[in-house]
Amino acid sequence: MPDSVFFALTLASAVTAGLMAGVYFAWSSMVMPGLRRLAPGDAIRAMQKIDVALMNPWFLTAFVGSALLSAVSVVYSLVRWGEEEAIYLLIAGLLLILGSVVLTATYHVPRNNALHLVDPDGPEAKQRWETYYAEWTSWNHIRAVASFAAAILFAAGLAAVE
Rounded Cα gap, residues 112 and 132, in angstroms: 9
Rounded Cα gap, residues 77 and 82, in angstroms: 9
pLDDT digits (tens, 9 = 90+) for 129-156: 999 999 999 999 999 999 999 999 999 9
Neighbours of 159 (CB within 10 A): 11
- The whole-model pTM stands at 0.91
pLDDT digits (tens, 9 = 90+) for 47-70: 999 999 999 999 999 999 999 999
- The β-bridge partners of 81 are 83
Q: What percent of the chain has pLDDT over 90?
A: 89
Quick one: pLDDT at residue 35? 97
Rounded Cα gap, residues 80 and 67, in angstroms: 20
- The yes-or-no verdict on residue 162 having pLDDT over 80 is no
pLDDT digits (tens, 9 = 90+) for 81-117: 988 989 999 999 999 999 999 999 999 999 999 999 9
Residue 55: CA atoms inside 13 Å, Cβ hemisphere, count? 7
Domain ranges of the chain: 3-161
